[in-house]
Homo-oligomer: A and B are copies of this chain.
């Protein structure tokens, strides 16, 4: 029985893997403690919600996910998206707000599971790398700008990255100097420990920063004396399990943000998991990933948490600390439970400004303009997609940014394939090779026009393909045989088929015969189910050479 539930890695678990998993589990926990509190703050939730989201989801992912090294839990971008989704629905920190965050995780989890069962793993390919990179960079900038407020002890209200930025400048004089001093010191310490230290010391440094800042704040009673904002009471004890179904109104408010969070979570997890798996020659199954992340989110909703996914930074640390299997995650979950049972009192005097510093240090490494630089010379459209998505996130908002990114990814593909390359070809003398007449010295026949179509024919370019063919015919008015070389046409859709049928009718009325050569198997299979091949029966050639001999 147990054997059926257990995932493959657990069934074939080897003793030699244990030390790696134990050490990685411990190191990730050290990182997870401040991050879970910080990301909950970023999402507008009480700190314990971040810890709840770091226990059961890790165990659920270990059971259903496909990555051996992905560290699941609260992450920065999804926390930002949660805050955005709920901002107009309830006041931050209220029980109503917490309940909505749980529902958001539930809806997102159920969506992911359904997508997984439908084998919609292809969704993880919906975004191009430039768009993902632009989205992550934009979100990291939005988060960084947003965290400057708690870092400096400012508390004005503002919507959006731009208003926050101008607000910081105009309200700078209201900053709490003690808060700012602690925050900036923490920021510097975290940054220096990351750049100067190496190995296990670098990974433990954030814990020391947290301990020192908490001790100082507690000793000098900085909260009461000068108003440094602290975490305060974090309720001890494991979360109670319960699941509430959303009402129709809640569902209609939350389905779109949940869908976008699911999409972003999937894309983020799959890209991290893939790049780590590659280094160890392992494979990631996007469909299993959907199930794993879906189960993690349902588990989060069940245990008082909020939307989770696999994060960049912790997964990298988990990998380099030697994690061999998701047991590392299970160990983190156990350690986080122990924290929750007995150590929550220790966070009482932890200053919020240190959490802000933790967030800034975590997300600033995500800001990455290398795609812009590299893509610039290779493909200007991809650079533009990066910039537009990043600026979209900064100016319009994080949800609008991701929608813009999807639209841009798809639109750029339509745009690129909408003007296909179509070459008039002739035979290289004495050979069976055919080449573009404009690039090579080749033989042509006066009554035969041979065109090679270098693109799939589909709705995005069917009209342009026909126009180009007609223009080529106008330039060669003696043509009686038109040969379309289909070696680079991998697909024809219904719109493309209609175009070919119309073209055939038109050519017939003008006494021109339409022939095809080098039609690929899948295209030929599709054509046999249409009326077109009957009309072309006598005129489909295996090779261009054969067609050239017969038609010229």
**Pairwise interchain contact B455-A490, C-beta atoms closer than 8 A:** yes
Taking a contact as CB atoms closer than 8 A, the residue among B283, B379, B521 that contacts A526 in the complex is B379
Question: In the bound complex, do residue B125 and residue A459 qualify as a contact, i.e. CB atoms below 8 Å apart?
Answer: yes
What residue of chain B has the Cβ atom nearest to residue A526's Cβ? Answer: B378
Q: Which chain A residues (459-514) contact chain B, with CB distance < 8 Å?
A: 459-464, 467, 487-488, 490-491, 493-495, 497-498, 502, 506
* Given A458-B413, A506-B278, A494:B378 Cβ within 8 A: yes
Of the listed stretches A78-86, A142-150, A206-214, A416-424, chain B binds: A416-424
Q: How far is the CA of A379 from the CA of B523 in the complex (A)?
A: 11
Q: Is the interface of A mostly helix, strand, loop or mixed?
A: helix
Binds B, one of A30-38, A127-135, A239-247: A127-135
Q: Report B-chain residues with C-beta under 8 Å of the C-beta of A454.
A: 490, 520, 522
Q: Verify if A432 is at the interface (C-beta below 8 Å from B).
A: yes
Min distance, Cβ A445 to any Cβ of chain B, angstroms? 23
A15 close to B (CB within 8 Å)? no
The one of B125, B374, B379 that contacts A464, using a Cβ cutoff of 8 Å:
B125
**Of listed A286, A378, A412, A420, residue having the most chain B CB within 10 A:** A378
A126 to chain B, nearest CB (A): 7
Q: A415 — which chain B residues lie within 8 A by C-beta?
A: 122
Within 8 A of B (CB), among A356-397: 371, 374-375, 377-379, 381-382
Whole-angstrom distance from the CB of A390 to the nearest CB of chain B? 15
A497 to B, closest residue via Cβ: B378
Q: Give complex CA distance A289, B260 in Å.
A: 36
- Please name the residue on chain B nearest to A270 by beta carbon: B463
Q: Across the interface, name the chain B residue whose C-beta is closest to A385.
A: B494
Nearest CB of B to A546, in Å:
11
> Shortest distance in angstroms between A35's beta carbon and chain B's nearest beta carbon?
28
| CB–CB B378/A529 < 8 A | yes
Question: Do B488 and A520 have beta carbons less than 8 Å apart?
Answer: yes
Q: Which residues of B contact A530 (CB under 8 A)?
A: 374, 377-378
A395 to chain B, nearest CB (A): 15
- A274-B463 CB under 8 A given contacts A128-B493, A493-B379, A495-B130: yes
> In chain A between 272 and 302, which residues have their CB closer than 8 angstroms to a CB of chain B?
274, 278, 283, 286
Q: What CA separation (Å) do A323 and B381 show in the bound complex?
A: 42
Q: How many angstroms between the C-alpha atoms of A416 and B495 in the bound complex?
A: 14
Once the chains bind, are A418 and B125 in contact (CB under 8 Å)?
Answer: yes
**Is A91 engaged at the interface, CB distance under 8 Å to the other chain?**
no
Q: Beyond A122-B415, A454-B490, A490-B421, is A495–B128 a contact (Cβ under 8 Å)? A: yes
| Cβ–Cβ contact A494 & B129, under 8 A | yes
Any B CB within 8 A of the CB of A410: yes
A160 CB to closest chain B CB (Å) equals: 15
- Nearest neighbor of A127 in chain B, beta-carbon distance: B459
- Would you call A409 an interface residue if the criterion is a C-beta within 8 Å of the partner chain's C-beta atoms? yes
Q: A410–B417 contact, CB under 8 A?
A: no
Task: Choose from B127, B410, B467, B490 the contact partner of A488 (Cβ within 8 Å).
Answer: B490
CB distance from A368 to the nearest CB of B (A): 13
Chain B nearest CB from A543 CB (Å) reads 8
With contact pairs A459-B127, A459-B128, A493-B379 given, residues A521 and B413 touching in the complex (Cβ less than 8 Å): no
CB of A181 closer than 8 Å to a CB of B = no
Residue-wise interface mask of A (254-280) relative to B, using a CB-CB cutoff of 8 A (1 in contact, 0 not):
000000000000000000001000100
A204 interface residue, CB < 8 Å from B?
A: no
A216 on the B face (CB < 8 A) = no
A275 CB, min distance to chain B CBs, angstroms: 8
**A439 at the binding interface (Cβ < 8 Å):** yes
A129's partner among B131, B414, B498, B521 (CB-CB below 8 A) is: B498
Q: Which of B436, B463, B490, B494 contacts A379 (CB 8 A)?
A: B494
Chain B residues, CB < 8 A from A495: 128-130, 382
Residue in chain B with minimal CB distance to A386: B494
**Residue of A126, A274, A374, A494 with highest tally of chain B CB at under 10 A:** A494
Cβ contact of A418, chosen from B122, B274, B374, cutoff 8 A: B122
Chain B neighbourhood of A414, CB < 8 A: 122, 125-126, 410, 413
* Chain B min CB distance to A213 (Å): 40
Q: With the chains together, A130 CA to B494 CA distance in Å?
A: 8
Contact with B along A516-527 (1 / 0, CB 8 A): 000011100010
A416 contacts across to B, CB distance below 8 A: 491, 493
Residues of B within 8 A of A375 (CB): 494
Q: A278-B506, A418-B125 are in contact. Are A382 and B490 (CB under 8 A)?
A: no
Interface of A with B (CB < 8 Å)?
122, 124-131, 274, 278, 283, 286, 371, 374-375, 377-379, 381-382, 409-410, 412-421, 432-433, 436, 439, 454-456, 458-464, 467, 487-488, 490-491, 493-495, 497-498, 502, 506, 520-522, 526, 529-530, 543
- Interface CB pairs A-B, < 8 A, 18: A124-B463, A125-B414, A126-B414, A129-B498, A278-B506, A371-B494, A374-B530, A375-B494, A377-B529, A377-B530, A379-B497, A381-B493, A413-B414, A413-B458, A413-B460, A417-B490, A420-B490, A432-B432
Further contacts, 14 of them, CB under 8 A, given A125-B418, A454-B520: A122-B418, A125-B461, A125-B462, A127-B459, A128-B458, A129-B498, A377-B530, A379-B493, A410-B410, A413-B458, A417-B490, A433-B543, A454-B522, A455-B490
